[in-house]
Amino acid sequence: MAIWKHLRGKTTTTVLLATVVLSLATVLRAWDPPPVAQLRDRSFDIYQHLQPRPYADFPVRVVDINEASLAQYGQWPWPRTLLAQFVSRMTDLGAAVIALDMIFPEPDRTSPGRLAGQLGIADPAEAERIKTLMSQLPDHDEVFAKAIEQAPVVLGFAAVQIDTGRRPPVKVGFAITGADTTKVVQPPFIGAAVNLEQLDKAASGVGALSISARDKSGIVRRVPLLFTDGSKTYPNLSAEALRVAQQQKSIVVKGTAASGEFDTGLPALVDLRIGDFRVPTTPTGELWVWFDYDRRERYVSFKDVLDPAKEAEIRPKIEGQIVLVGTSAAGLLDNWPTPLGELVPGVSIHAQAIEQIISQQFLSRPDWADGLEIVATVVFGALLTWLLIALGAQYAALAGALIIAAGLALSWFAFSHGGLLFDPVYPSIGAATTYLAVIGMLYVTTDREKKFVQRAFGQYLAPALLAKLVHAPSLMRLGGETKQLTIMFMDVRDFTSISEKLPASELVDFMNELLSPLSDAIQSELGTIDKYIGDSIMAFWNAPLDIEQHPLRACRAVLKMRDAMHDLNARDAFGFRERGLSAVKIGIGLHTGEACVGNMGSQRRFNYSAMGDVVNTSARIESSCKAVGMDIVVSEEIVRAVPAFAFLEAGAMPLKGKARPMKLFGMVGDESKAASPEFIELSQRHAALLAAMAEGRIGDASKALAHCRALAGSLMANFYNRFEEKITEIASGERLAQVI
């Protein structure tokens, strides 16, 4: 007993709670689900915003197929002869490499041989003659392939996760030490979109254009330098362009377990060596791109390259340069968001990756960063818990803020001075979560009695109302206000028969078992329970707090009540099945309109309630459930307020105290039910039934009724029985009129 009392002490409970929270935070961080990873990436994006990579004039250029080029040469794709002319021109200008950020998977549709069959010449002999002559003209793809063969050209391919049955050629040799790239590079691609074989064969290199599969938020942060299909390794466009520019035949890939590298037991890549340049990578072979703001100095317009008048201006920008060719034209859909908030052409991302490699300015995230961040989370949380116990909430909060600020400062220092990426956010959130959890536990322990009172009143009032009354006692004064309310009445069917068959104590148990889940359904949709009247509930929405779309909230609540009732009966929660009693049924009426709501009663005893005609009407609608044959009946005002739900018109019904009959509707279901093909057909058949009855077409009405019964099933049998009775009454009236 002494040990139990000790464990219940506040200090021990605080430590236990902090331990649990920190354990959960550690497990979540070790699991690293997408939301946690994206939060970490967002913090790194902020760092890049604060300190983007400074631009310098590296030997890297982007030849841009921009809007002006499209205006000059027409709609893309252009004839391959134009691209062949461009490649030859780039060779003449002295480009070190020409990397095309595009794919040519289909033959050129403008080739003479392909055009010959599309001329539509009526005379067969003439058509054959023209076709023979045109087929003797050079094929555009052959012209393009010859131009590529005579130039240092790198073509692209796209790695995809569908089986295309195609693979690109591998033009580079890989010298791999340590980890096997085919086992480390993730995810392996299943298929590829590749160029025509003759073009790939002519090219000096072929590299992948695809971005990182890890950047699921759409923002490009990493570029995979290597790809694999599970059996072969492929370079990306940036790595291949840099290799060809240096006239290298291979790329050296180093992984864990290589000579001089620490073997962690988990295979991972360490870096690449491309000619003179070492490139540190992530464990899966990706490069973190450190972006600069996209500069126009990096770009040359495609049309200017082919303009002889601009050779003096263009040659210095191309000669000896690594040239990547891509598009910024909006219509060609190759623009990507970066951490700096810019939309840049995909070719710019490859260009900036090459610039980083040349400048040897890298972002890196050490393989021990995850472990460090987990330790920081635990240390921060434990330190905050100790400060909370020792100093109290106010001083602990101040000390915690200083600790978190210090963590942020260290993370920023590592980025700004070493390009190292350490997450400052998750340890801070973990520590703050621990602090808040402990504060919450202390608050619950200290104010147990107050919470008990609040929970007791919460059985009758919506939580939002309870919170407002706790913080604003002035609401408890007598008085009221007029506003739009949605009113609900619920009643148990055949309650008198049930009460006759149960002892008083069991009847109370029955009512408690029934009303609890029904009340929960009301409060889950922000409803206020006005009162329990025997076996009935009165509730309303939009008071004392304003509730947006309160008729919709009310409709959702009554559907939850229907589901709760089905569940109670299905599991025989009342024990009626063994007594031979039938399932419990309820009726619900719903109406919306203007009412007076407020505290009503005496100075000593009062109740927050609603009064008005809308209240009386709601009660009468509930009383009509049996006559309508549905468990939920609503007014036309509800149908107009919630048009997306599934309702069926029951017709005009006389209500006690009302001078005129009121049009009522049975509620079938929510939006998904209303949008289902079955209900759409039922609704159409039901409309046809109403129209036939209104026009006295007995035969058509009977047919429509039969269709409705078949579609509605047994659950709405009573609803359509009433329509059968009306049809019979109409038919009897017509026969009587004929006799008279």
Length of the chain in residues, anyone? 740
- What is the pLDDT confidence band of residue 504, given thresholds at 50, 70 and 90? confident
Quick count: other Cβ atoms within 10 Å of Cβ 449?
Answer: 8
Q: Considering only the C-alpha atoms of the chain, give the largest distance between any 2 of them, rounded to a whole number of Å.
A: 112
Structure confidence by residue, pLDDT tens digits, 314-353: 999 999 999 999 998 887 878 889 998 888 999 999 999 9
Q: Is the pLDDT of residue 248 over 90?
A: yes
Q: Six-digit token pair at 670?
A: 């929510």
pLDDT of residue 203: 95
Across residues 7-21, what is the average pLDDT?
68
Q: Six-digit token pair at 439?
A: 């504060």
Q: Is the pLDDT of residue 475 over 70?
A: no
pLDDT of residue 132: 59
What whole-number distance in Å separates Cα of residue 372 and Cα of residue 366?
A: 10
Q: 634 has which bridge partners?
A: 590, 665
Give the contacts of 728 (CB within 8 A, at least 6 positions apart): none
Considering only the top CATH level, what class is 459-674? alpha beta
Structure confidence by residue, pLDDT tens digits, 693-703: 999 899 999 99
pLDDT of residue 452: 44
CB of 279 within 8 A of CB of 357? yes
Q: Is the pLDDT of residue 477 over 50?
A: no
Ranges 369-378, 382-391, 438-447, 494-503, most confident: 494-503
Q: Is the pLDDT of residue 415 over 80?
A: yes
Q: Is the pLDDT of residue 304 over 80?
A: yes
Q: Six-digit token pair at 260?
A: 């001089």
* 148 residue type, one letter: I
* Pairing of β 322-327 and β 97-100: parallel
Which run of H or of E encompasses 258?
none
Structure confidence by residue, pLDDT tens digits, 559-578: 999 999 999 999 999 988 88
Across 427-441, 467-481, 503-517, 676-690, least confident range:
467-481
pTM: 0.57
Structure confidence by residue, pLDDT tens digits, 172-219: 999 998 888 889 998 899 999 999 999 999 999 999 998 887 877 788
Which run of H or of E encompasses 271?
strand 269-274
CB of 235 within 8 A of CB of 251? yes
Across residues 126-133, what is the average pLDDT?
59
Cβ-in-10-Å burial (0-12, 13-18, 19+) of 735 comes to exposed
pLDDT of residue 657: 81
What's the mean per-residue pLDDT of the chain? 85
Give the contacts of 132 (CB within 8 A, at least 6 positions apart): none
Segments making up each domain of the chain, as ranges: 2-52+366-446, 60-106+144-359, 459-674, 676-740
pLDDT of residue 462: 61
Across residues 706-734, what is the average pLDDT?
87
pLDDT of residue 434: 76
Distance of CA 256 to the CA centre of its chain: 37
Across 153-162, 264-273, 477-486, least confident range:
477-486
CB of 65 within 8 A of CB of 77? no
Q: Is the pLDDT of residue 124 over 70?
A: no
Ranges 98-102, 265-269, 389-393, most confident: 98-102
Q: Is the pLDDT of residue 7 over 60?
A: no
pLDDT of residue 740: 43
Structure confidence by residue, pLDDT tens digits, 538-563: 999 988 778 899 999 999 999 999 99
CB of 632 within 8 A of CB of 588? yes
Give the contacts of 473 (CB within 8 A, at least 6 positions apart): none
> In the chain, pLDDT over 90 holds for what percent of residues?
49
In which order are the strands placed within the sheet that holds 269-274?
A: 173-177, 250-255, 269-274, 277-280
Residue in the structure block whose two tokens are 């240096």:
246
pLDDT of residue 602: 59
What whole-number distance in Å separates Cα of residue 458 and Cα of residue 561?
A: 18
